[in-house]
C-alpha cells in the first residue's frame, strides 16, 4: 500500500521531477495490472499471478492509510488481533479527520473521529502500536471499547493474554451498532 505523496517522496532523491514521474509510473502500473487504485490517491500492489479485477487488499493496511494518523480500531482491531467473533465486511479506523465512508471490493471503510479529549491533549495514539503485516505496517489500537452488561463502557487491553480468558470477554456476547462510536460489544 502506498499513497501518491509517499511514492513521490520516494522518487525525490532519484528523479528530477518526482511528482510527474510518480503519476506516470502509477498510470503505467495500473494499465499493466501491477497495482490497483483503492482511492484516487491510494494504491495497492497486486501480488504476482493474482487477477487485479478480483484483488482485495488487506483491509488493515488500507484502513491505516486512510488518513495520516489513521488507526485500525473498534471491531476491525479485534479482527486484526484475531479475537473477533463475527464476520464483518467493514473496516473501522479512527482518525482526527476521517474521510467519508467508501466501498472497495467487498469492504466498506468507515472512519470514526478520535474523541475530542484525545485530540485536545495530543494523545490520539494512546494505546496504539505499529505492527508489520503483509509487507506493510499497520497502526492498531490495543485498547478496544465495549459495553459491559450493565451498560457502562469498559476497556479491554487486548495486548495481554489474560483478556482472552476473562469471563466478560466481549466475544461471549453480541454486537450492536452505535452511530457515534461504531461497534460496541455487549456481554450476552
How much is the pLDDT for 139? 94
Q: CA-to-CA distance for 17 and 177, rounded, in angstroms?
A: 47
Same domain, 41 and 74: no
Which set of grid coordinates corresponds to residue 1?
500500500
Q: How many domains does the chain have?
A: 2
Residue 156 forms part of a structural domain: yes
Residue 54 forms part of a structural domain: no
Note every long-range contact of 11-17, with CB atoms under 8 Å and residues 24 or more positions apart, other chains counting: none
Mean pLDDT by 10 residues, the chain (188 residues): 84 78 86 90 89 91 94 88 74 92 90 90 89 88 59 42 38 35 36
Q: How many CA atoms lie within 13 A of 146 on its CB side?
A: 26
Same domain, 41 and 72: no
Same domain, 34 and 75: no
Per the structure, the complete domain to which residue 167 belongs is given by 59-186
The reported pTM is: 0.71
- Per-residue pLDDT tens digits for 144-168: 555 444 443 444 444 433 333 334 3
- Per-residue pLDDT tens digits for 51-70: 999 999 999 999 999 999 99
Q: Are 149 and 172 in contact (CB under 8 A)?
A: no
153-157 vs 174-178, strand pairing mode: unpaired
Q: Are 70 and 64 in contact (CB under 8 A)?
A: yes
SS (H, E, C) the chain: CEEHHHHHHHHCCCCCCHHHHHHHHHHHHHHHCCEEEEECCEEEECCCCCCCCCCCCCHHHHHHCCCCCCEECHHHHHHHHCCCCCCCCEEEEEECCCCCCEEECCEEEEEEECCHHHHHHCCCCCCEEEEEECCEEEEEECEEEEECCCCCEEEEECCCHHHHHCCCCHHHCEEEEECCCEEEEECC
Residue 177 forms part of a structural domain: yes
How much is the pLDDT for 144? 59
How much is the pLDDT for 169? 36
Residue 105 forms part of a structural domain: yes
Same domain, 10 and 102: no
Nearest to 176 by CA among 42, 63, 74: 74
Residue 53 forms part of a structural domain: no
Amino acid at each position: 500500500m502506498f499513497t501518491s505523496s509517499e511514492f513521490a517522496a520516494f522518487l525525490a532523491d532519484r528523479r528530477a521531477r518526482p511528482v510527474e514521474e510518480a503519476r506516470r509510473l502509477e498510470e503505467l502500473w495500473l494499465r499493466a495490472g501491477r497495482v490497483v487504485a483503492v482511492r484516487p490517491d491510494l494504491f495497492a500492489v497486486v501480488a504476482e499471478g493474482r487477477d487485479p479485477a478480483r484483488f482485495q487488499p488487506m483491509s488493515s493496511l488500507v484502513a491505516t492509510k486512510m488518513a495520516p494518523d489513521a488507526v485500525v480500531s473498534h471491531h476491525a482491531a479485534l479482527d486484526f488481533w484475531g479475537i473477533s467473533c463475527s464476520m464483518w465486511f467493514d473496516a473501522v479506523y479512527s482518525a482526527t479527520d476521517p474521510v467519508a465512508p467508501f466501498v472497495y471490493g467487498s469492504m466498506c471503510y468507515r472512519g470514526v473521529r478520535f474523541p475530542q479529549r484525545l485530540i485536545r491533549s495530543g494523545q490520539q495514539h494512546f494505546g496504539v502500536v505499529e505492527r508489520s503485516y503483509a509487507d506493510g505496517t499497520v497502526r492498531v489500537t490495543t485498547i478496544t471499547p465495549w459495553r459491559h452488561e450493565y451498560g457502562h463502557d469498559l476497556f479491554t487491553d487486548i495486548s495481554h493474554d489474560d483478556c482472552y480468558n476473562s469471563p466478560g470477554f466481549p466475544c461471549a456476547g453480541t454486537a450492536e451498532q452505535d452511530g457515534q462510536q461504531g461497534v460496541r460489544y455487549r456481554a450476552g
